[in-house]
Structure 1
Amino acid sequence: MSDGIYIVRNDNTLVEMRSSAFESEDLLQELLATHPSLIAGDAIDPTNPRRWLLIAREQAVPGEEGGFGRWSLDHLFVDQDGVPTLVEVKRASDTRGRREVVAQMLDYAANGVVYWPTDAIRQQFERTCTASERDADEALREHLGRPDADLEEFWRSVDVNLRAGRIRMVFVADVIYPELKRIVEFLNAQMNPAEVLALEIKHYTGQGLRTLVPRLIGRTAEAERRKGSRGSTSPRPELTHEQWFAQFAEERGPGEAGAAQAVYDWWVAQGAKFVVSDAQNPTLIAKLIHAQGECWSAKIKPSGQVVTYLRWLVWSPPFDKVEARREIVEALERTFGQRYGEKAASGEPSVPLTLLQEPEAREKLFAIWQSLVDRIRAGA
């Protein structure tokens, strides 16, 4: 079978295009950056084709809080719903295109969802636009297809998607070998809400012309069946706060529900806004608005735990310093008799709502939080 395609010109002459390797991996990367529509957005979501906004080539991925970049991802895109899309490119001649690249991508994803601050992603996008002499806001509105688009809301959706692990991982190569194909199809069927795909871009040349033919791999019937309504990378309809509390009270009882409502009311009084996550078991998450910006500060879990969200305070002075976060951990331990591990200062130390049903107990927690909020607002 001939590995070629044929183009018929307007003058009825035939151009034979033969399959050929890309001259370099950098060329393939450049083509994706310049022509992101090659990433088969209509094949990924036929009912609502994905559109791609390039955040950066060679996007740094930190391996620890406050890190500057342990790894370098080939491309970071976001789609029109703010879903981060990680793209790693390998030519067929690179033997790592089979298994090692999978571990590499999982490293990027596992660390990116924890250590990528959305503000840094936004700043990187602005630098990318500056380098191409484009206005970042105009480029984003064009991507969204709405001149009146709420840009702040879009970046908030990127933040929520990252926090929920709602990302897309795409392996790109001129040949996707069977070994990688099987791994991708298996991972895509198993993982949720993350999506794992491979894109084979066949390269043909002839008579000074270049033709690219993308083919998507990973959207199997089994993957679609397993993901079902959960598998869409578009956020599912969000519960209202009232619906969340009604569901919580039914599952946890009136005592814990009353304590949860008091926690909610306290954060609202501090100027926080709440988001209901779209996980299978939704969490109620507080975002604190302050003069220096905003930060995820606490959450109420459906399992009956109230979390101080230290892992998301690492970009809010003075809690960018581990010593300041340890003070919060120690205060929680002393007050509620909890014992947290060494990683709690960069994690999610929690207090059971069963310990917060009495007003006196809640006031002790609120005092710890008040100190936290006051220091964030003071930036020291």
Structure 2
Amino acid sequence: MTLQPVFVVGDEDVHTLEAVGFDSEEEFQRLLARHPRVLDFGSLADGRPLRLSLVAREMGVATGEHTGPTLALDHLFVDEDAVPTLVEVKRAGDTRIRREVVGQMLDYAANGARYWPAALLRKTFEDTCATDGVPLDQAYEALLGERTPQEFWAVVEERLTAGRMRLLFVADRIPVELRAVVEFLNRQLRQTDVYAVELTHYRGAGALRVLVPRVYGETAAVPGKSSSTATRRAAWSRDEIEQAVSGYPRAHEAAARHLLEHASRHGRWEGGRGQHPSALAEYTTAGRNCRLWALTLTPRSDKARLDFSLGAVRQRLGATAAAALTADLRRLPTLAGRLADAAARDYNLWPSLPLDELTRSDTLDAVLAALERLLAATSADSPDPDPDPDPDPDPA
């Protein structure tokens, strides 16, 4: 279908703008990086207008715990609510815009949720600001509110882990096949919002350009859908987590209860916001709170897992503490290979153990003993200083 021109009417003149494609995908991507406002549709949870800040172009994505980035997301943005927005850009002439791009995006989202810890996201954002010549205080002014940078990026990591994010497919023409997939994903995904954004590009005389966005997949139209740009999904309650644990076979239930009780004795745990019931454990040591693990309770107990937050340990308690916990966890055969290069990766890892393995008393005892050794060591000693400390205190 041929798009009609747009007419810009002045007092005496009429300027005609014709719909044209982008010269290249690179041009398209640069435009979005420089002008993210064209993607600022919707509003935050409290009704404030959505404003996106660029974390990185070509954001590296690892696909395993012992590999570096092997994939690259076109753009990663974040908003003031600390909700990450993943963007893939394609021109209409690229046949991948119909199906292949969907698989790519889901790959980025799944692996980004596992391998983008707070410390990595913060460094990437600050490196981008330095490259673009944006002063950090100016960049953070639009994001932090009353929070410190550590607090903000810790929340971004939490959002990712819980699956609370936006996935944006951006093109100059959105094919009907992609629209159908976006609408289907929005009906099925509990709290990840999926949109297709069509940016029609008009050019006029000289440098005059107009971009007209059209958004497909608005979650307000999906019954029962909780949108990250509208109403935030409530955290899983203790009753819901209790119900999930109670439905497991006895050995899996016992292992889950041991973990939750251990967290309660040494700190606290709260419900996560992911697709499945989850518990996020925050331990108190050396006067600080540090999230050490997340327990995800899938409908099938053999798929449930325990994820350790080594990145949070490194950021909150220091490299020595992260190295000690890593050494303890490497004694478990499942984690030995995955953690071989943890130090080289600055402990930006979320190694996981299946709940199945924790039904073995020796494995569960080893995990709990490792956590207690970490608490004992960090209670006795002050954590290593952050290599780039903030003047503000760490979050309580």
Partner residue, 1:8: 9
State how far apart, in whole Å, the 2-side matches of 1:185 and 1:141 are. Answer: 35
Could you tell me whether the CA contact under 8 Å between 2:191 and 2:275 is conserved in 1?
Answer: no
Report the CA distance shift for 1:162/1:16 in structure 2 as closer, same or farther (over 3 A).
same
1:198-241 per-residue CA deviation (whole Å, 9 max, x = no partner) reads 111001111111111011011267x621xx25444553344777
SS of 2:82's equivalent? Answer: coil
How do residues 28-107 of structure 1 correspond to structure 2 at under 5 angstroms?
A: 28-42=28-42, 47-107=47-107
SS at match of 2:27: helix
Partner of 2:271: 276
Which of 320, 327, 333 aligns to 2:331? It is 327
- Structure 1 residues 293 and 60, CA, compared in 2 at 3 Å: closer, same or farther? farther
What residue identity is the alignment partner of 2:9? V
For residues 108-150 of structure 1, the C-alpha deviation after alignment (integer angstroms, 9 at most, x for no partner) is 1121111222210111001111122333344123235x3x344
User: How many Å separate the matches in 1 of 2:46 and 2:222?
Assistant: 13
Residues 170-189 of structure 1: pairs in structure 2 closer than 5 A = 170-189=168-187
From the superposition, tell whether residues 330 and 7 of structure 1 become closer, same or farther in structure 2 (CA, over 3 Å): closer
Q: Judge conservation of contact 1:172–1:201 (CA < 8 Å) in 2.
A: yes
Shift of the 224–326 alpha-carbon distance from structure 1 to 2, 3 Å rule, reads same
Contiguous gaps of at least 5 residues in structure 1:
332-344
1:309 to 302, 307, 310: 307
Distance 1:301 1:204, change over 3 A: closer
Q: Larger Cα Rg: Structure 1 or Structure 2?
A: 1
Mapping 1:221-240, distance limit 5 Å: 224-225=222-223, 228=224, 230-232=226-228, 235-238=232-235
- In structure 2, C-alpha distance between the alignment counterparts of 1:129 and 1:352, rounded to whole Å: 43
1:356-375 counterparts in 2 under 5 A? 366-371=368-373, 373=375
Superposition deviation, residue 68 in structure 1: 2.5
Q: Is the 8 A contact 1:137 1:151 kept in 2?
A: no
CA offset at residue 96 of structure 1? Answer: 1.9
CA 328–364 in structure 1, closer or farther in 2 if over 3 Å, else same:
closer
Question: What does residue 280 of structure 2 align with?
Answer: 285
Query: Distance between the aligned counterparts of 1:302 and 1:263, measured in 2?
Result: 16
Is the partner of 1:124 in helix, strand or coil?
helix
1:296 to 292, 295, 301: 292
**Does the 8 Å CA contact 2:186/2:225 hold for their aligned counterparts?**
no
Residue 129 of structure 1 is matched in structure 2 by: 129
Q: Distance between the aligned counterparts of 1:46 and 1:363, measured in 2?
A: 44
More helix by share: 1
Of residues 306, 323, 341, the one that matches 1:318 is 323
User: Structure 2 vs 1, CA of residues 324 and 36 (structure 1 numbering), >3 Å: closer, same or farther?
Assistant: same
**Using a 3 Å threshold, how does the CA distance of structure 1 residues 350 and 150 change in structure 2: closer, same or farther?**
same
What is the RMSD of the two structures over their aligned residues, measured on CA atoms?
4.3
Matched, 1:348 2:332: no
Does the CA contact (< 8 Å) of 2:163 and 2:274 recur in 1? no
Alpha-carbon separation, structure 2, partners of 1:74 and 1:230: 26
Name which structure has the greater RCO, CA cutoff 8 Å, separation 6+: 2
Q: Is the 8 A contact 2:54 2:77 kept in 1?
A: yes
Q: Secondary structure at the match of 1:161?
A: helix
Query: Is residue 192 from structure 1 mapped to residue 190 from structure 2 by the alignment?
Result: yes
Aligned length: 353
The offset of 1:362, in angstroms, is 9.1
1:81 Cα deviation from its structure 2 partner? 1.6
C-alpha separation in 2, matches of 1:220 and 1:367: 45
Say whether the 8 Å CA contact 1:245–1:257 is kept in structure 2.
no
State the SS of the aligned residue for 1:348.
strand
Q: Which runs of 5+ in 2 are unaligned?
A: 315-321, 336-349, 384-396
The question of whether the paired residues in 2 share the 8 Å contact of 1:91 and 1:175 is answered with yes
Of the three residues 163, 166, 169, the one matched with 1:165 is: 163
- 2:339 corresponding residue in structure 1: none
Compare 37-46 and 181-190 and name the one that shifted more.
37-46
Give the distance between the partners of 1:2 and 1:301, measured in 2 at CA.
Answer: 50
SS at 1:42 equivalent: coil
Contact 2:187/2:225 (CA < 8 Å) preserved in 1? Answer: no
Equivalent position of 2:218 in the other structure: 219
| Distance change (3 Å), C-alpha of 1:87 and 1:376 | farther
Query: How far apart, CA to CA, are the structure 2 residues paired with 1:103 and 1:261?
Result: 36
Q: Percent identity?
A: 35
Q: 1: CA distance between counterparts of 2:174 and 2:191?
A: 24
AA matched with 2:175: Y
Per-residue deviation, 1:100: 1.5
Give the C-alpha shift of residue 63 in structure 1.
1.3
Aligned-pair distance for 1:318? 3.0
Measure the CA separation in 2 of the matches of 1:186 and 1:277: 24
Residues 286-322 of structure 1: CA deviation (Å, up to 9, x unaligned) = 1346679945335485989996534x3378543796x
Residues 215 and 268 of structure 1, relative CA distance in 2, 3 Å threshold: same
Distance in structure 2 (CA, Å) of the matches to 1:352 and 1:64: 20
Select between 68-77 and 46-55 the one with higher mean Cα deviation. Answer: 46-55
CA shift digits 1:53-96 (9 cap, x unpaired): 11011111111114321111110001222111110111122222
TM-score (norm 1): 0.75
Instruction: Tell me: CA distance 1:138–1:28, structure 2 relative to 1, closer, same or farther (3 Å).
Output: same
TM-score using structure 2 length? 0.72
C-alpha contact (below 8 Å) 2:164/2:228 kept by paired residues? no
Structure 2: how far apart are the matches of 1:15 and 1:102? 38
Find the partner of 1:154 among 133, 152, 158. Answer: 152
